[in-house]
A and B are shown apart, each in its own frame.
Chain A
Amino acid sequence: MANQYDFEHKPDIAWCPGCGDFMIRKALLSALDELNLEREKVVLVSGIGQAAKMPQYVNTSFFNGLHGRGLPPATAIKACNPELTVIAVGGDGDMYGEGGNHFLHVTRRNPDMTLFVHDNMVYGLTKGQGAPTSRPGMETPVQVFGVFEKPVNPMALAISLDVTFVARVFCGDIEQTKEIMKRAIRHKGFALVDIFQPCVSFNKINTLAWFKENTYYLDDGWDPSDRAASFAKALEEEPFPLGVLYESDHRSTFEENLSVYKKDRTPLYRRSRDSAAVAAEIRAKV
């Protein structure tokens, strides 16, 4: 049976041939299909960038907003209708750069949603400038003396903020990427999956081969529930660990904490304001 998240007619995809995004898309389409979710209740949310075009190429509802601004609308969509499965997608620049403050604060709220970050260590859509995750030494048309800033470590950052599902995958392993995507979507609470991917046009250093050489899978026996150990693991770089570094169920979600859902799970759009209650509020001002 055809994947209901794919299109009948092949969409005109704007990525470069050989882009890691194609592998991520393949994994995402399979993950969504295998999860057997009601398709009309899935919403993809993104900002701007090559990765942020993903929602355009998945046959679901989507909110493809502004650069760096995927997380605030995603949080609100889930909050206003907890029946929806909300997945935010973006690149390293979109989520860790322009949207860095939102990333920080979405972790405080802990909405029950998933974030996939395509991490290719370079800016693609704007053609090859340094990214928050660029490795030191990378020369670009802007970082002409080579990147010298310390790269963001999204895994360590997320664990330090007590994000309750923190994973890294490599898109070259589509099967593993898909499996971890499924776990992330099923996870209750905010889940981050940082996806290593090559940029064939602008990153000649961190290639498919480089990622293979500089990553390794966590042992089968890895215990992701020990936050301190996970944090120490997250600090490892070159080689970078792959897999679910940290997972916990000890935090309540944003939606669970909202007073509107304490007694009634109905999404906001199905409710209406009681005019007698408004009148009482006015009379209270007499």
Chain B
Amino acid sequence: MTRTIDHDLVIVLAGEAGQGIQSIESILSSFLKKSGFHFYSTSEFMSRVRGGTNSTEIRVSSRRVSAFRNRIDLLIPLHAEAVAHLGNRVTDETLILGDKAAVKHESMIDVPFTQIAKETGSALYANTVAAGCICGLLKVDAEEGASFMYDHFSTKTDEVREKNREAFLKGYEAGTAIEAVRIQITASDTPKGEVMLSGSDAVSLGALAAGCDYMCGYPMSPATGVLQNMADYSKRHDIIVEQVEDEVGVVNMALGAWYAGARAFVTTSGGGFALMTEGISLAGMIESPFVLHLAQRPGPATGLPTRTEQGDLDLVLYGGHGDFPRVILAPGTLEEAYTLTQKAFALAEKYQVPAFILTDQYFVDTRYNVPLFGVPETPPDRHIMQTDPDYRRFALTGSGISPRGIPGYGEGLVCADSDEHDESGHITESMDMRVRMVEKRKKKHAALLAEAVPPTLSGADNYKTLVICWGSTKPMVAEALEELALPDVAMLHFSQVFPVPAGAAAILEKAEHIVSVENNSSAQFTRLLATETGIPIRHTILKYDGLPFSVEELAERLSSAVKEGK
């Protein structure tokens, strides 16, 4: 019997680390987008460089896709453990395809990638054969695919390039011969001119557009992608990139860079952030701009290093001793990651406060095509002044913001002190000055609140049930609700989680029933939102096994949540 898949295909590649999942994914992402398909991929890995089982989900679709699905239409296992690794995601509906000799799964369709590759000249071409096979199933243009392969390996010898071309065509032929499935996905021109990015890429491009010229970090999964991207940009742009001895050094170095007039950026995960908290408090005291990207992974302690969670909101919200204003942004889409990273720099510099971009492993390791990002026409406002001889770094003003000078630019002296200080930046133990400085810093919270990014409300205008989410869960919640098509339900996504936008209360008040979705165990944002708005939120949908929500899981849990509310 032939199964038909219309418009939306979910492929999963699974195998050992180092077996080539990433190279197949990379070929497919570039070529399928070029062929006019919408493309999405997300990867999950074990915390090891070789062995184990990792998998990459690929969605190829006639329409824009950006959410994780549990369903697997087509599974390409690269070793024997792969099928078991995916557990109940593999159903009777899943078509399993690949090297039967290696995978040894009874009901799979045998496409001997390795043997075909060997016939071409070497087992090394097996990944190209697999990519060709998928393209054959999708019925893309074979010749275009073959020449794409040839170009893809442009750094290799002519012979290797030619062999890859050949391997692709053989795989393609094997794909077209498969009769068990018929895939019908409509290509269009839209994806062709779009960019294909990961969450890490979108954050990094945002920092680049914001004029980031100093990047320092200490490698830590899943935040390292941004550090490496900035290092790559430093080959072509004026950016100092330094790997520091530890996260304590990172935060203090970044603050030194801001003090000297650079736009510094830092990337880390929860454990690294924990080490930085004293420095973040220093940013609060010396009223320094500071921008940090935190890609969350499950804790406590080392936790699950390569998995995902939204468990560090409380850490970022409260990390750092003493009272000082801060802003926390949590993008839900690649576009938001790009614009909000720029916004983080703008707010940090305008208000001289720390600004945090909160993502997670799922978000940074997920890629899809999006329309080309625009670039700001004028360079960002630096909010730096040339100082005069009687310059005072912490001059008391109505807004709480003191004009910011930097050393060496003007005739004034720029004094920053981690102690409580007077207007000139010198140490003070005057209680009167202490009170004035506390109030000065506090004023900036109100200003940040006034500039807060409002949450996005979508769905029914006259909603009875309101589904709340923040950060990376946005596409899954949206797709689940779209599929459920329930009347009277709306969705509210927060891409700024602190200060909690003032308009949130009015939106929450209108609902009879509020359901909050979070990828953590203690509903950190739900508690914050309830405290800030004074509106109790009793129904939560939480997930804390280290994996992202899938559309299917959310659809099921949201559906029962909505019923319960009635």
A→B interface (CB under 8 Å): 11, 14, 40-41, 43, 45, 48, 53, 55-56, 59-66, 69, 72-77, 79-81, 83-84, 101-102, 104-105, 109, 258-260, 267-269, 271-273, 275-279, 281-283, 285-286
CB of B376 within 8 A of CB of A275, answer yes
A65: chain B residues at CB < 8 Å are 252, 255-256, 282, 286, 416, 418
Closest A residue by C-beta to B367: A285
Could you say which of B188-196, B458-466, B544-552 contacts chain A? Answer: B188-196
A80: chain B residues at CB < 8 Å are 213-214, 240, 256-257, 260-262
| 21 A-B residue pairs with CB within 8 Å | A40-B407, A43-B260, A56-B426, A60-B413, A61-B407, A61-B408, A65-B255, A65-B282, A66-B252, A73-B256, A76-B256, A79-B257, A84-B407, A105-B249, A269-B406, A271-B213, A272-B211, A275-B375, A283-B195, A286-B193, A286-B372
CB of A40 within 8 A of CB of B410, answer yes
CB of B427 within 8 A of CB of A76, answer no
B248: chain A residues at CB < 8 Å are 69, 72, 101-102
Distance A77 CA – B254 CA, assembled complex (angstroms): 9
The contact of A76 among B237, B238, B246, B257, by CB within 8 Å, is B257
Closest A residue by C-beta to B255: A73
Given known pairs A81-B407, A105-B249, A268-B262, the reply for A260 and B239 (CB within 8 Å) is: yes
CB of A273 within 8 A of CB of B237, answer yes
- B191-238, CB < 8 A from A: 193-197, 201, 205, 208-209, 211, 213-214, 216, 233-238
Cβ of B245 within 8 Å of any chain A Cβ, yes or no, is yes
Distance A53 CA – B419 CA, assembled complex (angstroms): 10
Cβ of B532 within 8 Å of any chain A Cβ, yes or no, is no
Cβ of B159 within 8 Å of any chain A Cβ, yes or no, is no
B255: chain A residues at CB < 8 Å are 63, 65, 73, 76
Cβ of B488 within 8 Å of any chain A Cβ, yes or no, is no
Distance A278 CA – B412 CA, assembled complex (angstroms): 34
Closest B residue by C-beta to A60: B413
CB of A269 within 8 A of CB of B260, answer yes
B253: chain A residues at CB < 8 Å are 72-73, 75-76
- Shortest beta-carbon contacts, A-B, top 6: A73-B256, A269-B261, A76-B256, A80-B260, A72-B252, A285-B195
B235: chain A residues at CB < 8 Å are 259
- B467-489, CB < 8 A from A: none
Given known pairs A73-B259, A77-B259, A267-B408, the reply for A105 and B245 (CB within 8 Å) is: yes
- Measured CB to CB, the closest approach of chain A to B82, in angstroms, equals 30
Cβ of B244 within 8 Å of any chain A Cβ, yes or no, is yes
Cβ of B279 within 8 Å of any chain A Cβ, yes or no, is yes
Given known pairs A40-B408, A73-B256, A269-B262, the reply for A64 and B240 (CB within 8 Å) is: no
CB of B245 within 8 A of CB of A104, answer yes
CB of B379 within 8 A of CB of A282, answer no
A279: chain B residues at CB < 8 Å are 375
Cβ of B318 within 8 Å of any chain A Cβ, yes or no, is no
- B353-394, CB < 8 A from A: 372-373, 375-377, 379, 382, 384
CB of B413 within 8 A of CB of A281, answer no
Given known pairs A267-B261, A277-B236, the reply for A77 and B256 (CB within 8 Å) is: yes
The contact of B407 among A14, A77, A286, by CB within 8 Å, is A77
Given known pairs A40-B410, A80-B240, the reply for A283 and B372 (CB within 8 Å) is: yes
B413: chain A residues at CB < 8 Å are 40, 59-62
